[in-house]
């Protein structure tokens, strides 16, 4: 089976120790980064006060409790994926 074209989509994932949830997919990295900034602002309002370490890059944001990073964290990340579409041969 062959596909005519491939495109990249960018999905924002929110991960905590309890769950991993997709927050939306975008056709451009710029659109995904714009939405990621909004999601970071919203998450900062609800993150527990004892999450005292923060890391951020262009495509991710993570906050966690020092010494308990594996059990107490919240992470937002843009994950790219290649999608194939078009006529099947």
Q: In whole angstroms, what is the distance from residue 41 CA to residue 63 CA? A: 12
Question: What residue spans define the domains of the chain?
Answer: 5-85
- pLDDT tier at 49, thresholds 50, 70, 90: confident
Residue 12 pLDDT > 80: yes
Which range of 15-19, 76-80, 82-86 scores highest in mean pLDDT? It is: 76-80
**Is pTM, for the whole model, over 0.95?**
no
Residue 40 pLDDT > 80: yes
DSSP letter string over 12-62? EEEE-SS-EEEEEEESSHHHHHHHHHHHHHHHHHHS-TT--EEEEETTEEE
Residue 88 pLDDT > 70: no
Q: In whole angstroms, what is the distance from residue 78 CA to residue 72 CA? A: 20
């Amino acid at each position: 089976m062959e596909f005519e074209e491939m495109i990249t989509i960018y999905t924002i994932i929110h991960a905590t120790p309890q769950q991993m949830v997709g927050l939306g997919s975008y056709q451009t990295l710029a659109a995904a980064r714009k939405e990621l900034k909004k999601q970071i602002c919203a998450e900062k309002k609800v993150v527990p006060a004892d999450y005292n370490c923060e890391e951020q890059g262009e495509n991710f944001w993570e906050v966690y409790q020092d010494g308990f990073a594996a059990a107490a964290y919240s992470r937002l990340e843009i994950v790219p994926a290649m999608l194939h579409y078009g006529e099947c041969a």
